[in-house]
Structure 1
Amino acid sequence: MGKKQLIMEKAVELFAQQGFELTSVQQITEHCGISKGAFYLSFKSKDELIIALIDQFMSQMISDTDYQVTKNQNDEKTLYEFYFTMFKSSQKHSNFAKILMKEQSQSFNKELVSKFHHYDRLLEKTILTMMEGLFGEKIENTKHDLVYCIKGFISIYSELILFNNVPVNLEQLAHSLVEKTNLLATQITTPFVTKEIFQLKRLSHEEVTKDQLLEILEQSLSEAEELLEQESLSLLKQHLLEPSLSQVLIEGLLKNIQGYPNCKWIAYLLRNYFALEFTENK
């Protein structure tokens, strides 16, 4: 295990016990058995460490969920895979999931709050895309409200699982929430969250930048082992620098890479980035 990963894993143990605010760099280094100098070679500050942990957890959870949604798009299994993958990820990383649920309501650190909002927005986009694909025009007036209902399900049941030691059958939970979601999607007629409210909330947060995408793309390229993976990433990078590919070809390249574990996150980000770019240029 590398030094950076060791620090992250040991820090999570302390954060789970004490929270972000009460855990010091000194405590983290003592828990890891390293010097402060070794810590600062990996992270500039405790806040940078926290951001890295949030990125690691949230990017994996959202990209895994998005992969299941796009793989089964418009299929009857889509909703089930969405819920099952979401709760499976939270259960697998339960310590950090607990920390996030507590800290999101307590943090006054602007950078952390911004990061929480960023991933919340990405989750909303995945849910909205899924619901539009499954129900189409039937939910045109209620789809934004449904996004918040689904987020509510995730929050409430995650809290039940993580903080109350309730024995959980994830398959049963996923099936139960699929039934509830289908019922809401087919029966809701009076939404509260309108398109205007939804867009107003989202406008207050920044989109991922081209430079950030290029950085993540380079990392994915360095880890790519298969020829198809390498060639697809290279073409996507080239298009990002000098747009020349059609939307259909871009979608094909994204499908080529989204099945590779190290490419799920960049595939998710690029799909959203190019979709926005295409909409703006129409």
Structure 2
Amino acid sequence: MSKKQLIMEKALELFAKQGFEATSVQQITDYCGISKGAFYLSFKSKDELILAIIDHFMEQISIDIDYTVRNVTTDRIMYHFFHTIFLAFSRHANFAKILMKEQTHSLNSKLLTKMQYYDRRTDQTILSIIENVYGNKIKGNKFDLVFAIKGLMNGYANFILFNEIEMDLELISNSLVEKTEILAKHVTIPFITEEMAERFHTFSDDEYSAVDLLHMVEDAFKEADDKISKESLTILKEQLQLQTYSPAILNGLIENIYGRSENKRLGYLLKKYFQLTN
């Protein structure tokens, strides 16, 4: 485990107990058994650490959702979408609870911007799924349906987390599919118009260039501590500059770097960039 990953995991334990504001850098370094100097070699500030943890948490969910919706039939996409979301919440209940509490309190502008970014990505994901499932049937009310689905998800997640109720993933997923079906079929008075829905036109993963990915590969190489990952990252860097390898080889190289959880996002983006199937 890299020093960065150690700090993130230990800090998350403290944040879960105390919240963001009440946890100091000194407490984090004491808990990790490292010096402040070692902390600041990895993160410029506590806020940068929090952003990194949020990125890690949200990106894992995004990757899982993307994989799910690409690999299930249309008639089961809604169920698997809800199941994936709530499975992630159950696995990371403490951090999900922190996010729900803290985003309504004293987060600074950078943290708020980060949360808004992921909120918009969620909007885009839901929109893409319901357009795929319902097509023209929801043309006039698709944006209202997106926010209705998000409201249901947030409401149930809040209820489950703060009442410490054991989660039945199959039941809640089927229940939300049923409610979505009712809304899709019977809502006839939309509120959100196409003009009002600018939030859906935001940054997408497809906007990562080869240069962006090169920098990410170089950063991953610095953090890698095993020979296979380093060799795979070196070849992937060469591939971004001069494409010569077959899709099968590229898939294998990307699988080699998935061993480190922090590389899952990079692997996901490389697969999209090289247009590889899962």
| TM, length-normalised to structure 2 | 0.78
Q: CA deviation at 1:218?
A: 5.9
Q: TM-score, normalised by structure 1?
A: 0.77
Give the aligned partner of residue 64 of structure 1. Answer: 64
Residue 29 of structure 2 is aligned to residue 24 of structure 1? no
2-structure distance, mates of 1:140, 1:24? 49
Take 1:132 and 1:220, find their aligned partners in 2: how far apart are those partners? 36
The aligned runs of 1:1-150 (5 Å cut-off) are 1-72=1-72, 75-150=74-149
Does structure 1 retain, via aligned residues, the 8 Å contact 2:214–2:237? no
- What is the percentage of aligned positions where both structures have the same residue? 48
- Aligned partner of residue 130 in structure 1, secondary structure: helix
Amino acid at match of 1:190: I
| CA spacing shift, 1:202–1:272, aligned 2, 3 Å | farther
Superposed displacement of residue 267, structure 1: 7.1
Letter in 2 for 1:65: I
Unaligned runs of 5+ in 1: 243-251, 275-282
Tell me, what secondary structure is at the counterpart of 1:107? coil
Do the aligned partners of residues 170 and 3 (structure 1) sit closer, same or farther apart at CA in structure 2, a change above 3 Å counting? same
Give the letter for the 2:138 counterpart. I
- CA contact 1:104–1:113 (8 Å) conserved in 2: yes
Provide the secondary structure at the position in 2 that maps to 1:172.
helix
The 1-side partners of 2:54 and 2:83 are apart by 21
Distance in 1 between the 2:4 and 2:238 partners?
31
Q: Is the 8 A contact 2:138 2:184 kept in 1?
A: yes
- Structure 1 pair 184–45 and aligned structure 2 pair: CA distance change class (3 A): same
CA drift at 1:265: 3.7
CA RMSD across the alignment: 3.6
Which amino acid counterpart does residue 8 of structure 1 have in structure 2?
M
Asked whether the 8 Å contact 1:83–1:177 carries over to 2, the reply is yes
Alignment correspondent of 1:159: 158
**Paired residues of 2:61 and 2:85 also in contact (CA < 8 A):** yes
Please give the alpha-carbon distance, in whole angstroms, between the structure 2 residues aligned to 1:129 and 1:63: 15
- Cα 1:235–1:156, aligned 2, differ >3 Å: closer, same or farther? farther
Q: Which runs of 5+ in 2 are unaligned?
A: none
CA distance in structure 2 between the aligned counterparts of 1:272 and 1:104, rounded to whole angstroms: 31
C-alpha separation in 1, matches of 2:95 and 2:52: 12
Query: CA–CA distance in 2 between the matches of 1:140 and 1:271?
Result: 31
Q: Which residue of 1 aligns with 2:190?
A: 191
1:3 offset after TM fit, Å?
2.3
**Equivalent residue runs for 1:203-282 within 5 Å:** 210=209, 211-216=211-216, 237=240, 262=258, 265-266=265-266
Structure 2 counterpart SS, 1:76: helix
Aligned residues: 258
Distance 1:47 1:99 in 2: 15
Q: What displacement does 1:115 show?
A: 0.8
Q: Is the 8 A contact 1:11 1:28 kept in 2?
A: yes
Change (3 A) 1:132 1:162: same
Q: Do the aligned partners of 1:8 and 1:53 also contact (CA within 8 Å) in 2?
A: yes
